[in-house]
Structure 1
Amino acid sequence: MKTATIPTDREIFFDRDHFIVSKTDLKGRITYVNRAFCKIAGFTEQELIGAPHSIIRHPDMPRAVFKFLWDRVLEGHEVFAYVKNMTKSGDFYWVFAHVTPSCDPAGNFLGFHSNRRAADRRVLSETIIPLYAALLKTESETPNAKQALAASYRQFTETVQSKARSYDELVFSL
């Protein structure tokens, strides 16, 4: 039986020239990882292939952000998002992720592809970390998980609308 990883307060940094790449099937199971992914996340390729991509999900990530990301990707859109991931040892690292659906020639989804690079520190400190903290606070203060997600998602979309015409406009203006 696998034990849960306990998050640390230790941040891992990686070179802005390195790209983390992964692919998943339709159920989110990892089908491909590059060497950078393994090195930064601290897992072997064998540990990652077949595992759910959530193996690197950090508990500091608001559920509302993942809801938005998956809603958009499942509509066939590409999404750019700031994500806090967790390593095998519980350390964390921030990425700027580009997530796209992988499709066959007829447009049917086959899986998902994600390229990630080091996140801009200024954007993190000025915008993303405070926003995610506010969303997590909303999620933790709402007693029912379904209502917590709805409240946090509403807060997320209201924040985006208050700052830009669309999420894409906001994320690329940061």
Structure 2
Amino acid sequence: MQYNSSHFLCETIVPKNEIIVSRTDLKGIITYVNDTFAQISGYEADELIGEHHNIVRHPDMPKTVFKELWESLQKNTKWSGYIKNLRKDQGFYWVYAEISGVHKENKLVEYKSLRTPITFEKKLEYQIKYDKLRLKTNDYVRKVIYEKIN
């Protein structure tokens, strides 16, 4: 996996008082997004609908975080945590996410996710934590290379 765009290093700040909302089916396919999600992610809403939610998964995110997320949801437990997402232009944005099941007539029918902005300190804390976790689990690790190309 290689990203050669300078945008990969550009952060989009989620505005204060904004909530990013999405819903997915039970397999993680997006069925609804609010305008804030589309705007922050750099996609049009119709580009997101029908795609798997991992369309915005940033490679800095350890696989174990999503394993834990899905295990929690399958146990009918709400999951919450800090996530770095990938924008369409290869930039990124950080959020605090709360994900839970939606039930109709006592049957789980979909998942909803509410995401809010986080502080710079939390972003730094979790970037360091996730970097260490990816090293520990032999996951992808970020490497920056400067080279002269003739």
Q: TM-score, normalised by structure 2?
A: 0.85
Contact 1:5 1:88 in 2 (8 A): no
**CA-CA distance at 1:140 after TM superposition:** 2.6
| Matches of 1:25 and 1:64, distance apart in 2 | 21
Q: How many residues align?
A: 137
4+ aligned runs moved over 2 Å, structure 1: 4-7, 139-142
Tell me how far 1:80 sits from its aligned partner: 1.2
Distance 1:121 1:75 in 2: 32
Deviations 1:147-169 (CA, angstroms, capped at 9, x unpaired): xxxxxxxxxxxxxxxxxxxxxxx
Report the Cα distance in structure 2 between the residues aligned to 1:69 and 1:25, rounded to whole angstroms.
15
| Aligned counterparts of 1:119 and 1:32: Cα–Cα separation in 2 | 23
Equivalent in the alignment of 2:121: 122
* Residue 141 of structure 1: how far off its partner (Å): 6.7
By relative contact order (CA 8 Å, sep 6+), the higher-ranking structure is 2
Q: Distance in 2 between matches of 1:129 and 1:46?
A: 30
Tell me the SS of whatever aligns to 2:47. Answer: helix
1:136 aligns with 2:148: no
**CA shift at 1:82, angstroms?**
0.1
Provide Cα deviations, 1:118-164, integer angstroms capped at 9, x if missing partner: 12222222x3122101111123379xxxxxxxxxxxxxxxxxxxxxx
Distance (Å, rounded) in 2 between the aligned partners of 1:141 and 1:112: 27
Aligned AA (1:65): V
Which of the two has greater helix per residue? 1
Using the alignment, how far apart are the partners of 2:15 and 2:83 within structure 1?
Answer: 16
**Structure 1 residue ranges without an equivalent (≥5):** 143-174
Larger strand fraction of residues: 2
The answer to whether 1:89 aligns with 2:89 is yes
Task: Name the SS of the counterpart of 2:138 in structure 1.
Answer: helix
Correspondences of 1:95-174 after superposition (within 5 Å): 95-106=95-106, 108-125=107-124, 127-140=125-138
Whether the aligned pair in 2 keeps the contact of 1:23 and 1:33 (CA below 8 Å) is: yes
Letter in 2 for 1:20: I
Structure 2 residues not aligned, in runs of 5+: 141-150
Between the aligned residues of both structures, percent identity stands at: 34
Q: What root-mean-square deviation, in Å, do the aligned CA atoms of Structure 1 and Structure 2 show?
A: 1.9
Task: Please give the alpha-carbon distance, in whole angstroms, between the structure 1 residues aligned to 2:56 and 2:116.
Answer: 15
What TM-score do you get using the length of structure 1 for normalisation? 0.74
Measured after TM superposition, the shift of residue 72 of structure 1 is: 0.8
